[in-house]
Chains A and B, each alone.
Chain A
Amino acid sequence: MKRLLPFLACASFAFLIGCGQSSSTPPPGTAPAGKKLSIALLPKSKGNQYFVTVRKGADKAAAELGVELLFDGPTNTDPAKQNEIVENWITLGVDVIAAACENREGIATALKKAQAKGIKVLTYDSDTMPDARSFFVNQATAQGIGYTLMDTAAKLCGEEGEFAIITATLTAANMNEWRKNIEARLKEKYPKMKLVDTKPCDDQKDKAQQETANLLGAYPDLKCVMAICSPAVPGAAEAVKQAGKAGKVKVLGLGLPNENKAYVKSDVTQAVILWKVEDLGYLTLHAATALAKGDLKPGATSFKAGPLGELKIEGTDILLGQPFVFTKDNIDQFDF
């Protein structure tokens, strides 16, 4: 028996390889009529509350549209995992893959491989290289974010007075894009408001709190603190609260409702801005289904996604619309 084992081991490998040669993957999209469309949704990471919420919306859409939803993603930061999952989906024979890409370039090869096999590919939340997908479901444009932040701040301050910005770093590309739009809106619509300072917090809550405390000391007339990276929103709120200026100095920012609920309810933070994450999942599934059925074609300029209504398509970006402002009145309806 002992002597036989190496040969048995070899034989089983040969079997594995041999079986492989005889059959091949059926081409996707050619499923017999009546078979459900199968749509695979890839999050950046599976346990992240943000993507759990995306899934909730996707589940709802899948049930309404009568399609099968496969939701799977990495549980850690292993950069190879997203690619492996996509490659597995290719051989599984799914009809559409919708991916939130952790690595813009890294995953492009796997997605192109899927396209070559006739699988429709779109991205949501974070895009890949444009030639590796048909559409990108864009949750918010830089202009949408910048303008909404500025408009909300102006409303809170009565359109006059000093305000300051807390950002992650002064070099972060996306945040600089937002700042450019904030400043453009400021110049265009609010002549009585003044941006007095912009401080980086290195994406850390502690540092944001400290910088906000410094700002409150340096500018006694400050009316509003705008935090544009998510850890800075509760950080700024804590500083304002500790300085005893809750309500006098308004706080708003870009962040997750759950992280800010306590401050919003105690009126330290007046507004949290983000898109409706559940809608992002809902829209992605609608777009994926339309893409598979041929209802959504390259070159389209608008897309109707059920109750979300008629949405704009810019180039290959399907726009979810203006960001949503979470306030004391509505924040309890959301859990992410």
Chain B
Amino acid sequence: MNTGKPSAFVRARSELVLMIFLVAELIIFSAFGRNFLTADNLSNIVRHSTEIGLLALVMMPVILTGGIDLSVGSLLGLCAVLFGTMVQDAGLPPLVAGGITLLIGGLAGGFNALLITRVRLPALIVTLGTFSLFRGLAEAITKGTATYSKFPESFLALGSATFMGLPVQAWIFIVIAMVVWLLVHRTTFGRSWRAIGFSPEGARYAGLPVERRIAFAHVMAGIVAALAAIILTARVTQARAEAGTGYELLAITAVVLGGTSIFGGTGSVHGTLLGVASIAVLTNGLSRIPSIMGVSRELSGVLTGALLIFALSSGVLMKFLSERRARRQTSRNPSTTSNA
């Protein structure tokens, strides 16, 4: 048996499971949910999942290299607060403040990358540190209590207006999704991220600029986390230090659910998108079935967890079953050994 094949097979399998799950969700919620399949509700789903979707999109390349970034949720909070103070206290126009915020996000991602690639600390430890550091800074700036809510209407449109029938943030999401998809699936960046995930040493011997490629993924994560912060601020019309709490784990869940190996090396951007969509539709749909409305958020946590375990183990289970079948056939027919 070829060793490359089963993993590709396992990955495609978890995407297939998700696809079936998503279609099933749509059918069930359309039938039993109250006003589920309406334009307003679908744009709600998109609006409410854009920030986590963006984080998942950039988390995916990081995980593909075998790394992790636990700091994106905290960075989102920090960027939201910085953006808020720049607009409200310093009086900068949102466009300028937004640009500076993206820059800060990139620098924060670069700081993670520096510690990971130059000081050679494990990504888990580095980003666990910045997870606390960024959130702590956000809380220090607001002293735990200040919030920012004086934003011009033109800026708030980013969170609530529609453009060509879709929520504004959906267009931003589509652009970022296409960029990341092309990077991962159509450029040498994607190939080197995968190679690094399979074996960093091997990638280094093959002459790949391993450090620079890892750093690129982290800087991209930082910039997009800042972008998510701006979008969230526009949607909630308020910037607070707690913004984005726990989002990093939701993003990681979507990525892993979408078939990306947590050890790196394999994964797809469309899988991640499916992961994001499945969770977003699940959370929204459950809150529309009358009998379980009150506990929908708790239930969606339980089901997401169950789905994650099922989607990941189904591939392994299928492989196990097919191998056992093959073994049985060989033991029944000892003469013909390898036609299974």
Contacts and interface: CB of A to CB of B under 8 A. Distances in A.
Contact of A70 (B39, B40, B160, B294): B294
Interface residues of A, number: 43
Interface in B37-66: 37-45, 47-48
A105 B237 contact: yes
A92 interface: yes
Contacts of B298: 75
A19 B37 contact: yes
B230 to A, nearest CB: 14
Contacts of B294: 70-72
A103 B237 CA distance: 10
Contacts of B284: 88
Given A72-B294, A79-B240, A2 B246 contact: no
Nearest to B15: A5
B127 interface: no
Contacts of A19: 37, 42
A6 B271 CA distance: 8
Interface stretch (A20-28, A262-270, A301-309, A315-323): A20-28
Interface string B207-248: 000000000000000000000000010011110101101100
Given A6-B270, A87-B47, A106 B147 contact: yes
Contacts of A22: 39
A131 to B, nearest CB: 14
B149 interface: yes
Interface in A122-139: none
A63 interface: no
B108 to A, nearest CB: 21
Contacts of B41: 20, 25, 88, 91-92
The secondary structure that dominates the A interface is: helix
Interface in A66-92: 70-72, 75-80, 83-84, 87-88, 90-92
Contact of A9 (B42, B48, B270): B270
A108 interface: yes
A21 B284 CA distance: 18
Contacts of B16: 1, 5
Contacts of B270: 5-6, 9-10
Contacts, number: 132
Nearest to A78: B245
Given A9-B270, A113-B160, A72 B293 contact: yes
A25 B35 contact: yes
A124 to B, nearest CB: 18
Contacts of B45: 16
Nearest to B11: A2
Contacts of B268: 5-6
B35 A91 contact: yes
Contacts of A91: 35, 38, 40-41, 44
Interface in B235-271: 235-238, 240, 242-243, 245-246, 268, 270-271
Interface in B141-200: 147, 149, 156, 160, 165-166, 181
A12 interface: yes
Contacts of A8: 19
Interface string A85-112: 0011011110000000001011011000
A80 B236 contact: yes
A55 B282 CA distance: 26
A93 B34 contact: yes
Nearest to A15: B26
B291 to A, nearest CB: 12
10 contacts: A1-B12, A5-B268, A9-B15, A9-B274, A23-B38, A70-B294, A72-B293, A79-B243, A83-B236, A105-B238
Interface of A: 1-2, 5-6, 8-10, 12-13, 15-17, 19-26, 70-72, 75-80, 83-84, 87-88, 90-93, 103, 105-106, 108-109, 113
| Top 10 closest pairs, chain A to chain B, by CB | A106-B238, A20-B42, A105-B149, A91-B41, A9-B270, A20-B39, A91-B40, A25-B40, A6-B270, A109-B237
